[in-house]
Chain A
Amino acid sequence: MQAALLIALLAAPAAEAQAIAPVRQAELVRMVRQDCGSCHGMRLTGGLGPALTREALADKLVPAMAATIIHGRPGTPMPGWRAMLSEPEAQWIAEQLAAGFPEERRGAR
């Protein structure tokens, strides 16, 4: 049931996403919230890096965002993440950001 809920939560805003397995989607959500979050904030409200909320990214195009994720932004602290992400994964993350990034599923502990 948890898995079904997770898929429903994650899949809703991403009808166009290329086939990223649900398990990997959950990993990507965690990665963005936690690891990208060290510069952009866990709530993506910004820090050393800019805010990545839907409102903040309103004028950004998804392909450009995906390219930034893969290649980084020279002259800024934003690194290219291609060693850790495929291009479809970066595309998926960019789509999620544009739509308002999903919350991480908190495990029941």
Chain B
Amino acid sequence: MKRREVLTALGAAPASLWLGGCASAPAAPPAIATGTGDLGVVIERARGTLAVVNTSTRTLLGEIDGLGDLSHASVVFARDGATAYVFGRDGALSQVNLLTRRIDRRVQQAGNSIGGAISQDGTLVAAQNYTPGGIKVFDARTLALVADIPAEYAPGKLSRVVGLADLPGQRFVFSLFDAGAIWIADLSDPSNRAQPKLTKLAGIGKQPYDALVTPDGRHYIAGLFGEDGLALVDLWDDAPQARRILAGYGRGEQPLPVYKMPHLRGWAVAGRHAYLPAIGRHEVLVVDTATWQEVGRIPVAGQPVFVIARPDGRQVWVNFAVPDYDRVQVIDTVTQRIVRTLEPGKAVLHMEFTPRGEAVWISSRDANRVSVIDTQRFDTLATLTVDSPSGVFFTSRATRIGF
């Protein structure tokens, strides 16, 4: 309760300063006069709340609550950097405003949801769902349903959907966990958006668990849980096909238990290499994005969950599944060695770099803490008290393909 009062006071500060500087205060002060380039949100998973943060002042600005079940929640941003879309586990899609810190619209769109994406031009928002399995596409402004795309891979059988990402040309690509398939939905024809053109790639490999689009929008890579290897699609091909890469990376060895699924996103690419979590191995796999051949493996402290390149690609930061999730390791991409092991707090769930990467924000769920760490010197610049923090999302994602 006390904390909330402090947050409210912090959030109100700019407005009251503005008023204080005025000889005659207008009846209704304008909305908070600030840009949005240094804003972000931290998910407080247990309370169904977003903490709104500023990455320049490294402070909490306020909260947006009433967002439902935010376990495994994720967020995408509109280009204005103020409008965010929150995908809750309970199937709710909420449109919130970071400046007014209010929920503007909210739809209950599925029974069980796992995330979403926003189209290239920002007019469409898509949710990926486990129940009922499929994706739903909404008008980003009104949240009116535009297209319902059940992932029906056999008569009456819907697959859980993972790895949804936006593609150039008003398209979305996603993977079907239960079907071993990758589908591409093309919504570029405004006269036929309710029935988008679907391209279906079957037999891509067993149990895709998540996927990524490379920062140029060209390649889609789905990680496979059910077998050693990943599926790669060259989306610039006229007739895209999936092919296997890194096949058999763990062959001949007993896989270690995977207590949490890794997450893939375009942040895996650093320079010409992609850094990918191995499944069932305490390793990061390094693959050359020109040849798609494995060029190295880096032993790490546990089952990698997030493997994220600093925006300049010089470092790759890795966090881990339980029970190794109190640690974070930093790979130097020039030497391909671990240069640092940090322990920012119990149960590290997520990491997010500031737009140009001078700092990284790390959420430690059980420490109720978000640590802001200097990526050059590795010292802690600030710590913020946040209740069971999970995902950290900055508005700079708005300008990136695949985020």
Binding site for B on A (CB under 8 A): 31, 34-35, 37-39, 41-43, 45-48, 72, 75, 77, 79-81, 83-84, 104, 106, 109
In the complex, chain B residues whose CB is within 8 Å of the CB of A79: 257-259
Question: Roughly how many angstroms separate A81 CA and B112 CA in the complex, as a whole number?
Answer: 25
Contacts of B226 in A (CB 8 A): 75
Question: How long is the Cα–Cα vector from A23 to B201 in the complex, in angstroms?
Answer: 50
| Residues from chain B with Cβ under 8 Å of A72 in the complex | 257
How many contacts A-B (CB < 8 Å)?
Answer: 71
Residues of B contacting A38 in the complex (Cβ-Cβ under 8 angstroms): 71-72, 260-261
Q: Do B112 and A35 have beta carbons less than 8 Å apart?
A: no
- A-B contacts, 17 listed (Cβ < 8 Å): A34-B388, A38-B72, A39-B260, A41-B69, A42-B46, A42-B69, A43-B89, A43-B90, A45-B89, A48-B160, A77-B225, A79-B258, A81-B259, A83-B323, A84-B259, A104-B46, A109-B3
B323 (CB) vs chain A CBs: closest residue: A84
When distances are taken between beta carbons in the complex, the residues of chain B under 8 Å from A45 are 69, 89-90, 112
Q: Does B315 contact A (CB under 8 A)?
A: no
Q: Are A42 and B365 in contact (CB under 8 A)?
A: no
- Determine if B130 and A48 form an interchain contact, defined as CB atoms under 8 angstroms apart: yes
Nearest 4 interchain pairs by C-beta: A42-B71, A79-B257, A35-B322, A38-B260
Q: Is the pair B72, A41 in contact by a Cβ cutoff of 8 Å?
A: yes
The answer to whether A39 and B261 touch (CB under 8 A), given A34-B365, A47-B112, is yes
B114 part of interface (Cβ distance < 8 Å): yes
Assembled-state Cα–Cα distance A56/B257 (Å): 25
Residues of chain A contacted by B69 (CB below 8 angstroms): 41-43, 45
Contact of B89 among A34, A41, A80, A84 (CB under 8 A): A41
Q: Which of B89, B114, B131, B388 has the most CB of A within 10 A?
A: B89
Instruction: A46-B130, A48-B130, A84-B323 given; name 5 further pairs at CB < 8 Å.
Output: A37-B71, A42-B71, A43-B71, A46-B112, A47-B112
Q: What is the chain A residue whose CB lies nearest that of B279?
A: A77
Is A47 touching B114 in the complex (CB atoms < 8 A)? yes
Q: What B residues does A48 contact at CB under 8 A?
A: 114, 130, 160, 162, 177, 209, 261
Chain B 11-50, CB-CB to A under 8 Å as 1, else 0, gives 0000000000000000000000000000000000110000
Chain A residue contacts of B72, Cβ below 8 A: 38, 41, 47
Chain B residue nearest in CB terms to A108: B1
Q: What's the Cα separation between A104 and B388 when bound, in Å?
A: 12
Residues of B within 8 A of A83 (CB): 257, 323
How far, in whole Å, are A77 and B366 apart by their CA atoms in the complex?
24
A-contact 0/1 string along B70-94, CB 8 Å cutoff: 0110000000000000000110000
Q: Is the CB of A41 within 8 A of B387?
A: no
- Cβ–Cβ < 8 Å partners of B351 in chain A: none
In Å, the complex CA distance between A46 and B259 comes to 16
CB-defined contacts of A35 to chain B, threshold 8 Å? 259-260, 322
The interface residues of chain B lying within 8 Å CB-to-CB of A31 are 322
B207 within 8 A of A: yes
* Contact among B3, B46, B257 with A80 in the assembled complex (CB-CB below 8 Å): B257
| A-contact 0/1 string along B101-133, CB 8 Å cutoff | 000000000001010000000000000001100
Q: Give the distance to chain B from A33, nearest Cβ to Cβ, in Å.
A: 8
Establish whether residues B260 and A109, one from each chain, have CB atoms under 8 Å apart when the complex forms.
no
Nearest-neighbour CB distance to chain B for A48, whole angstroms, equals 7
Tell me the complex Cα distance, A28–B69, Å: 21
| Complex contacts, A106 vs chain B, CB 8 Å | 46
**Interface: B347 (CB within 8 A):** yes
Q: Is B383 engaged at the interface, CB distance under 8 Å to the other chain? A: no
Evaluate whether A109 and B387 lie within 8 angstroms (CB atoms) in the complex, with A34-B365, A41-B72, A47-B89 already known.
yes
- Give the contacts of B254-277 with A (CB-CB under 8 A): 257-261
**How far does the alpha carbon of A80 sit from the alpha carbon of B280 in the complex, in Å?**
12
In the bound assembly, the distance between CA atoms of A86 and B192 in angstroms comes to: 56
Q: Compute how far the CA of A72 lies from the CA of B280 in the bound complex, rounded to whole angstroms.
A: 14
**Residues of A contacting B333 with CB < 8 Å?**
none
Please tell me if the beta carbons of B322 and A41 are within 8 angstroms of each other in the complex. Answer: no
CA gap between A109 and B2 in the complex, in Å:
9
B170 within 8 A of A: no
Q: Which residues of A contact B3 (CB under 8 A)?
A: 109
Q: Given the complex of chains A and B, what is the CA–CA distance between A84 and B259 in angstroms? A: 10
Knowing A48-B160, A48-B177, A106-B46, say if A42 contacts B209 (CB, 8 Å): no
